[in-house]
Amino acid sequence: MQSGATDPPKSRAIVIRTAIPADLPDVAKLLNARDGQVRDPQTVAAYLWGLDPGRTCTWLAYADEQPIGITMLYLRDMHWPRWDQTDDRSQTLRAGYWAHLFVEPEFRKQMVYPQLVLAMLRGFKAAKLDLIFTATRQPTVAEGHQKLGFALVGTPPLRLRPLRPFRLVAKHKQLGLLVPLCRPLDTVARLFLKRSANANSQVQDVGIDDSLIEQIVELMNQKSPQGVRQAWDSEQFRNRFRTTLDGTAYRIRAISRGGQIVAAGVSTLVERGNQIRAGILLSLVATASASTQEVQTLLADAEAIAHGAGAELMLSLDHTLALPQLANSSGKYFTNRSEQYHMLVYPKQLAQSPYLAADLQRWAFEYADHDAF
């Protein structure tokens, strides 16, 4: 075989370094290449918190000064209790949630992926982090992470609720010609699937800069006080839900009584494979005094918004639906047995006894923690 006029990619030297805010254009280029999209640079910057070193840690791989790979940690405080609850120092740990691992296809045979990950594992201590954790739906990726020293805590399932079941099946099976024929069938199905709402419970939009956000953050921190969970603050909440990576909105909705929020939820809309549109229920919280009707109304509201935007289904995770008020109705969200997440922790001793993180049932993990839809 004749050699080409230019050097093949395997001959190009790879340099990996920590990213700084000035590298945002390179980060945006890589994420756009990963997703096959062209995004507004300002939206990408907002979604990534401007690569603020107090909120993120990012490593970039370069070949001849061209960005070819990325891995990133979102920084957060995690409530990380022990079984005995005796060591207060163990209650809160500084963590990085691992996301956005990507290498340009032509460089994947050059071991860029392990080089990026090893750079991250060497650098996370320098960033004063105690641990790294992540959730992936890809079993082969989870296996690779375990070979690098991550512990597999468990496999939380994805939960779904059909909104347009016939069109969902047609798209999932790639039966494009049948999609237009599904409308009348889905209209009838809607009569049975539409969740009832209490007309006396008024649902309101909450702006990201509204002072009511403080009440929602407090409820999120109270939902699983003894579990393994993110310790939210108002600034982090506002950064997290200001915009999606694609520039669409997170909807923050709430029900109040006497000026106090009794239930609130965060949702958004995404497009998955085969052009399936999904409403995402990222978080749902309520006070102990909230009625079943109020929580049901808020859930119905999120589903109605997604349906009105053309979604075929709603997606969520178990912890989001784990409210006492939904004990007899959350079953309307079905377990999707074809998709599950793999919860991974590094170093692995932090996912072993005496830490509660060893038990997946102790994790308060939901889509509010990540955008791996």
Per the structure block, which two tokens stand in for 124?
A: 């996370």
Under the banding of pLDDT at 50, 70 and 90, the label for residue 226 is: confident
- pLDDT of the residue at 372: 86
Query: Where in the chain are the domains?
Result: 9-156, 158-339
Reported confidence tier of residue 98, pLDDT bands at 50, 70, 90: very high
On the question of a common fold for 9-156 and 158-339, the answer reads yes
- Spatial strand order of the sheet with 203-205 comes to 203-205, 251-257, 260-271, 277-286, 313-317, 157-162, 334-340
pLDDT tens column, 53-78: 999 999 999 999 999 999 999 999 99
Tens digits of residue pLDDT in 137-192:
999 999 999 999 999 999 999 999 999 999 999 999 999 999 999 999 999 999 99
| 241-279 tens-digit pLDDT | 999 998 889 999 999 998 899 999 999 999 998 999 999
pLDDT at 313 over 90: yes
Q: What is the pTM of this model?
A: 0.91
Those residues whose C-beta lies under 8 Å from the C-beta of residue 157, and which sit 6 or more positions away, are 318, 335, 336, 337, 339, 340, 341
The architecture that CATH gives domain 158-339 is 3-Layer(aba) Sandwich (3.40)
The model's pLDDT over 324-370, given as tens digits with 9 standing for 90+, comes to: 999 876 558 999 888 899 999 999 999 998 999 999 999 999 999 99
Confidence bin at 118 (pLDDT 50/70/90) = very high
For residues 16-45, average pLDDT: 95
β-strand partners of 57: 73
What CATH code would you report for 9-156?
3.40.630.30
Of 270, 335, 325, nearest to 299 by C-alpha is: 325
With 80 as the cut, is the pLDDT of residue 104 above it?
Answer: yes
- Cα–Cα dist 50/234, whole Å: 18
Q: What share of the chain is helix, strand, coil (3-state, %, to 5)?
A: 40, 30, 30
